[in-house]
Structure 1
Amino acid sequence: MSDRVAAVVPAAGRGERLGGSVPKALRALAGRSLVQHAVDLLTSATLVDQVVVAAPAAELETFAALLGPGVRVIAGGAERIDSVRAAIAVLDETVGVVLVHDAARPLTPPALVDAVAAAVLGGAPAVIPVLAINDTIKQVDDVGRVVRTVSRDVLRAVQTPQGFRRDVLDEAYRLGGMSADGVAITDDAGLVEALGVPVMTVPGAPEAFKVTRPVDLLLAEALLARRD
């Protein structure tokens, strides 16, 4: 396996829950777009050699102007899985490790990026950063009635970047985005799990939260202001 590491950023979504008139990745955070913050942290990581961003087809020039010549911008697809697949297809042939990172996680520490990449380079086929669950978790039925309380001791919240050996991720993306029992798979590690390949974990970072709602954007702004 080559030790070259590439990072893929699927950023073609609209982000309906966040609102606004521009694609989610272009929403401003402390004067810069979410995708600029995300790409900055990836390029600041020691182990990342290449970054590819999958953007809305109508916004390619805007993304390219914001991100500069060092980042390859391509047209993403209608779904996240389509964007990641398209980005993987244009990676340098010498890349052996692929990281997939959400543009909506703009405060992820570069050290976490390196930790995930290093774990894959160290021999793990797939690695995800995780955090312990602090809230009580309930399973409910389709009418909102509690079925049971789920033990949070064995549960983890998953973050990005998620890291993979390139050959493993290539094989996973030949699937159609569904598990064997017909349940939609919502992250790249889920596709790898469906292959029967073990997925390892590393400790995540609280600041690597996902900006999904307006309140998340306010929190990110406050954390950036405090950092500065």
Structure 2
Amino acid sequence: MGAGVPKAFVPLAGRPLLGHALRGALSCPDLHQVVVVAPAEWVGPAQEACRLAAAEHASGGPEPAVVTGGAERGDSVAAGLAALDASVDVVLVHDAARCLTPPEVFARVVAAVEAGAVAVVPGTPVVDTVKQVDASGRVVATPDRSSLRAVQTPQGFRREVLARAHAVSSEATDDAGLVERLGEPVLVVEGHRLALKVTTPDDLETATRLLASSS
């Protein structure tokens, strides 16, 4: 982003991306606990974002806790898992960068795990033609895009399965990839256009427009 601060703390309409992401998280049905993982030097701002989000949540619910993350993404997810109460069985892993993910996506993921899936990800159909290339940039395959999905978050898991996946390795671009390596099935449910990942300044502009049009 080139913003000089961690992405989760980049402002969007007057509040950090983390604050917007917490709105969706706090909407989860039967919510028991929320754990925010932040860099050590940003724990204070993360706690303030959590306090404000909890105060604004009309139906109450738990105030999110903040723990210090690790060097890599997987290390941070593992730190969040370690902070969960023993009674928590269904775990959602969400990116602050997908700060506008609407409550209905959270609800779909939770419902699918509770219905028996051990791992669930929201996704949207891929509209572009995708080429697989080799190290020299030469095309080696053109996957059928009808079978492709662009995966979003939150991703939902049975806790035992996610913990087992992280015990083997935490190196992957998403937690569903870790579960796939175990040979466990991963279910895709319908995602949403609002669940875009804010990665660049252009994405931030898009999110600003989407937030204005959806409010």
Q: Please report the TM-score for the alignment, with normalisation by the length of structure 2.
A: 0.92
1:144 corresponding residue in structure 2? 137
RMSD over aligned Cα, in angstroms?
A: 1.2
1:215 corresponding residue in structure 2? 202
Q: Distance in 2 between matches of 1:54 and 1:35?
A: 11
Q: Distance in 1 between matches of 2:15 and 2:120?
A: 29
What aligned pairs does 1:17-56 form with structure 2 within 5 A after superposition? 18-56=1-39
**SS in structure 2 of the partner of residue 207 of structure 1:** helix
Q: Distance in 2 between matches of 1:149 and 1:173?
A: 32
Q: Shift of residue 48 of structure 1?
A: 2.5
Q: Distance in 1 between matches of 2:130 and 2:154?
A: 25
Q: Distance in 1 between matches of 2:152 and 2:211?
A: 19
| Deviations 1:164-205, CA, capped at 9 Å, x for gaps | 001111111101235xxxxxx211011111111111111111
Q: Shift of residue 143 of structure 1?
A: 2.3
Unaligned runs of 5+ in 1: 1-17, 179-184
**SS in structure 2 of the partner of residue 37 of structure 1:** helix
Q: Please report the TM-score for the alignment, with normalisation by the length of structure 1.
A: 0.87
Say whether the 8 Å CA contact 2:75–2:170 is kept in structure 1: no
Richer in strand (by share)? 1
Richer in helix (by share)? 2
**Is 1:95 aligned to 2:88, yes or no?**
yes
1:80 corresponding residue in structure 2? 73
Which of residues 83, 106, 115 in structure 2 aligns to 1:122?
115
**SS in structure 2 of the partner of residue 49 of structure 1:** coil
Unaligned runs of 5+ in 2: 55-62
Q: Distance in 2 between matches of 1:42 and 1:148?
A: 38
**Is 1:157 aligned to 2:150, yes or no?**
yes
Report how many residues are paired.
205
| Deviations 1:206-226, CA, capped at 9 Å, x for gaps | 111111111110000001111
1:200 corresponding residue in structure 2? 187
Runs of 4+ aligned residues of structure 1 deviating over 3 Å after TM superposition are none
- Greater Cα shift, 88-97 or 64-73: 64-73
